[in-house]
Structure 1
Amino acid sequence: MNNKQIMIFDTTLRDGQQCPGAGMSFENNIEYARLAANAQVDILEAGFPSASKLDFMIVNTIAKEVTNTNSSPIIAALCQLKKEQFEITIRSLEPAISNKKARLHTYLPVDPQLMDALGNYGKNFSKITKDVFELIKMAHHEGVEIEFSPEGYSRMGENFDFVTDVIRAAVEAGAKIINCPDTIGGACKLQGEEYFVEKMKIHSRIIEKEFPNKNIIWSTHCHNDFGLALENSMNAVFEGPATQIEGCFNGIGERAGNVSLEQCILYLKTFGKNLKYKETFYTNFKTETLQYISDFVSLNMLQRQTHWPITGENAAKHSSGGHTNAIIKNPLSYQPFDPREIGNEITFQFGPFSGGNHAKDIIEKYGYICNDDEKANIAQYIKNEYADRRKGITDRELIQTYIKFRNPIKMEFINYTKKAFESNLELSGEFFGNKKIFEFKTMESGSAFTSLYNAIVQYIPDLKIEKYTSQSLSKGINSMSHSKTIIKDANKKIFTGIGEDLDIEISALKSLIDATNQCYIQNNYIQK
């Protein structure tokens, strides 16, 4: 089988920033260019330098900074078919020209509807073709590589012969790359002979026959208005002559966006070797950088959908109990690719459809014990605690609830009364596995705190009170009391419990209970 490299043309900085709300600062443009260069994109379309002084500076700076190695991408800049824009664009690319890394990308509408709407071209096809030839020839002589795009190629209709003439003129003048865009994202394979990939095949044969000594690169630039950008781009590669794909990371771009480059790259990696075509299609892109670049675009340009393919937050996150059980045993059981390939990891979010294995996996990851015979009960307890949280809970919330489940003392309420020579303490809830109301009575010489401590040491021998303090948090009779109890166990481990209540005695009891619960869990439910 023959190996065929598919070049990645990244237009995130140009077409991506034409998406409303996706513009970035000068510094972020430069930072993105560095990321793309490190990831080994083949061509980086840095912008539209004639649009403004800032756009010129962005393209010029990128051309200076990322074209000084053999592995550097070619820096492309877009311009209309106008002499003054050609001149500005060439100047912006000057730092890359000496390194033979500069590409001028120009375009011309060929879609009849688009030509009528723009109103700048009319039907003077011979003049248009002449302008294409002369301007491209001029730029070619300046040392820049030329890419020519017949804009609206997929809707050329009756203009096929005209499109043939302008492509012919561009190639004769020195254009090396012919890009055939589905500008309005309306192409579909069901169009049959009118499908743009079929037209590309015809044009590539014509050019190959007329210019046998020119090695023309055919490219495709697909928009996603019908959600077909990936399919159309891949058809142009597998069924057509395209060896270059143009798109944006996270599929950003005008209207519904461009084809998603991360989808194209992983598609080619996964399906590129195909016996039907007797060729292996591949890219040189570093797939392990995909997640980082996608995250950068989501943070600095346009927020990515949570369920976005390949790199979305949920693309490698699972919640379903059945899925989780299988993935714990085999990470690829519910994943079409290993997320580590793109710099990501499989994660789980506990939710209403999660099961015991999911809870057990998280609990054990945090260093706690969860036995097989109790995992279902623990999972159900956690779900009951968050019955209204249909979107799931965080790992931290799960662990906090697990600890609550493990606490040996679970108090529903504490009632404390004091008379002249006697104090009464009632604790309702669970006390070391027993569920009932506990009553403690103390005479004048004792205290509720001491009574509770004496009851606790029946279950945790050698537990010592190291220190106890209590103070008011504010002035007045309604001030909240803040108590702190420090205890030491038989292994000389220290635990500090906190309690707050309007009643100073009850706040002290709560702090003792908190310290005791910590001690018990530490000594009984932490993995050794």
Structure 2
Amino acid sequence: MSRKIHIFDTTLRDGEQVPGAKLNRRQKLEIAEQLAKLGVDVIEAGFPCSSPEDLQAVRSVAEQVKGPVIAGLARAVPQDIDIAWEAVQKAERPRIHVFLGSSDIHLQKKLRQDRESALQRAVDAVRYAKKYCEDVEYSTEDASRSDFEYLCRVVDACIQAGATVINIPDTVGYAIPDQFGELILKLKETVPALDRVRLSVHCHNDLGLAVANTLAAVRNGAEQVECTINGVGERAGNASLEEIVMAIRTREAFFDAHTDIRTTEIYRTSRMVSRLMNIPVQPNKAIVGANAFAHSSGIHQDGILKDRSTYEIIRPEDVGIKAHTLVLTARSGRAALRHRLKELGYDLTPEQFERVHQRFLNVADRKKEISSQDLNSIVEIELSKVPETYTFESLQIMSGSTMTPLASVTLMKEGTAFTDAATGNGPVNAVFNCIERIIGQQGTLRDYDLKAVTMGKDALGEAMVRVEIGGAIYSGIGTSPDVIEASARAYVNAFNRFFANSH
């Protein structure tokens, strides 16, 4: 029997540190429930001491999500540990995750401590956490740049103090796979006490090597991997859960290892995280990207038609991507829509179905056919909407190469229509200016992304924006066959997130 690799998902903690990706309590809970369906072993639900809101969100996950271990992160400070325990104590299987830098760079430049005082601080923190919780994880932050002898001392001392999991992070993505694998092997050989605990790794993607470093660690004895859905996270991101899991599954004999992940839930989880965080998945992203199972070369297509294994090492079905033949149009009835939604894995409440149905009709009236990708986009945007202070109603544009663009927009608020007009240096800019005039609130556009959900001239356009409002960044998303309308819907969505956060 191959050894089990434990999957520690930190999407709700490290993944949420991406600017503009802040999740509210309901959104965190929704993702956590899906992570439990996915079969992760540990959910790091947040950093409870970072804000009262995150404390409440982590507590909700701990109280309501069953199955995985629920972990809360804490610095090696008693107050942090107190708050982390307050957040996770009602979980079926709680864990306190304590971290402290171990590299001289972190000790000298950030912590202003010498090695011995930092070592004592680490031991004291583990002992303090152990008074609350049997399961205590200790992370040696910036381990890949730490002095090896000192790293071994810290690891051994924290195990003696009661740590049940030791995590070796490549915090800044500095490691190279051969080197990182060797580090894990040498640690196991040098610190005999590691045989009594679970050895974990947490790799960042600054050099694009997070997954490679993680797999090198698995090959050399790591038993837990810390990762995120779609690889989201600080700077260039974290090791991608779906890539690690499918690499181990596809090459199980090579790694002599397996995970307990339900791989058919991968695609749905990826889409949910992308929508709720408003972070698009690049088309060429391994496993879950739009092109991951697309074949355009004639030679490839010929091979696939003869035998899929010629150019596919993973079946789309294995990660939850299904092929559908049922064509949806504006004339499709509710039964056909419900059937397709069920095929795609959606279990909607009557109220949710009505919202999706109305948006479906709106799009289908302007588009010949609604594809699975279109429907995914419609459903996930509707399900991820925050309470709408303003609702997009309509717009009109006058624009041309020899005139100043003029936009007229109508928004609804509590049943009342508000219409205004504004100019801009382009039609989208004019629409954004008009929305700001109606709402009476200024925003600064920090990022704007527009893409087609499907192929063809009548493709559904999907706009994503990040807008700085009141000193914070809010993300918005919108879809429509009209890209200017999609942009308007996204901009209104960002302001609705601002208003929801302000209440």
Question: Shorter chain as normaliser: what TM range?
Answer: 0.5 to 0.7
Q: Partner of 1:203 in structure 2?
A: 187
Q: CA–CA distance in 2 between the matches of 1:22 and 1:127?
A: 36
**Are the aligned partners of 2:227 and 2:238 in contact in 1 as well (CA < 8 Å)?**
yes
Task: Return the alpha-carbon distance in structure 2 between the equivalents of residues 55 and 24 of structure 1.
Answer: 9
Which ranges in structure 1 are unaligned for 5 or more consecutive residues?
349-393, 399-528
CA contact (8 A) 2:95 2:133 kept: no
CA contact (8 A) 2:107 2:118 kept: no
Helix, strand or coil at the partner of 2:181: helix
Assess if the C-alpha contact under 8 Å between 2:98 and 2:125 holds in 1: no
Aligned twin of 1:77: 72
Q: Structure 1 residue 22: deviation in Å?
A: 2.0
1:139 corresponds in structure 2 to 129
Task: Report the counterpart of residue 103 of structure 1 in structure 2.
Answer: 95
Q: Post-superposition shift, 1:24? A: 1.8
Q: Report what 1:171 is aligned to.
A: 159
Question: Does the 8 A contact of 1:317 with 1:346 survive in 2?
Answer: no
User: Displacement of 1:346 after TM fit?
Assistant: 5.8
Q: Equivalent residue of 1:154, what SS?
A: helix
Aligned residue in 1 for 2:302: 325
Question: Residue 90 of structure 1 corresponds to which residue in structure 2?
Answer: 85
Q: Cα offset for 1:327?
A: 2.4
- Cα contact 1:316–1:346 (8 A) shared by 2: no
Cα distance in 2 for partners of 1:397, 1:342 equals 22
Superposition pairs of residues 83-482 of structure 1, within 5 angstroms: 83-96=78-91, 99=92, 101-118=93-110, 120-123=111-114, 125-156=115-146, 159-189=147-177, 195-208=179-192, 211=193, 215-238=196-219, 240-274=220-254, 280-301=256-277, 302-345=279-322
TM superposition shift of 1:313: 1.1
| Structure with the higher fraction of residues in helix conformation | 2
What number of residue pairs does the alignment pair up?
Answer: 329
Aligned partners of 1:220 and 1:233 also within 8 Å: yes
Conserved 8 A contact 1:146-1:174: yes
Query: What do the CA deviations read for 1:32-87 (whole angstroms, capped 9, x no partner)?
Result: 000001111000000000000011011111000113xxxx0000111111111011
What code does the residue aligned with 2:214 have? S
SS at match of 2:169: strand
Distance 1:397 1:6, change over 3 A: closer
Contact 1:318 1:347 in 2 (8 A): no
Classify 1:332/1:199 alpha carbon distance in 2 versus 1 (closer, same or farther; 3 Å). Answer: closer
When residues 396 and 146 of structure 1 are mapped into structure 2, their CA distance, relative to the original with a 3 A threshold, is same
| Contact in 1 for aligned 2:49/2:74 (Cα 8 Å) | yes
Deviation at 1:273, TM superposition (A): 1.2
Cα pair distance change 1:199/1:328, threshold 3 Å: closer
TM superposition shift of 1:314: 1.3
AA at the equivalent of 2:58: V
5+ residue gaps, structure 2, are: 326-366, 372-503
Aligned-partner residue type, residue 283 of structure 1: T
Question: Is residue 316–residue 345 contact of structure 1 (8 Å, CA) maintained in 2?
Answer: no
Q: Among the aligned pairs, what percent are the same residue?
A: 33
Q: Determine if contact 1:111/1:155 at 8 Å carries over to the other structure.
A: yes
Structure 2 counterpart SS, 1:218: strand
Q: Which residue of 2 aligns with 1:362?
A: none
> How far 1:319 moved relative to its partner?
3.1
AA aligned to 1:199 is L
Q: TM-score, normalised by structure 2?
A: 0.62
User: Match for 2:185: what amino acid?
Assistant: K
SS in 2 for 1:95: coil
TM-score by length of 1: 0.59
* Structure 1 residue 323: Cα displacement: 2.8
1:236 CA drift (Å) = 0.3
Asked if 2 retains the 8 angstrom alpha-carbon contact of 1:153 and 1:196, the reply is: no
User: Which of these two proteins has the greater Rg computed from alpha carbons?
Assistant: 1
- For residues 20 and 241 of structure 1, the distance between their equivalents in structure 2, rounded to whole angstroms, comes to 34
In 2, Cα distance between equivalents of 1:78 and 1:252: 18
Q: Deviations over 1:126-159 (max 9, x none)?
A: 2222222222112112124111111111111xx3
Provide the rounded CA distance (Å) in 1 between the counterparts of 2:370 and 2:281.
26
Give me the CA root mean square deviation.
2.2
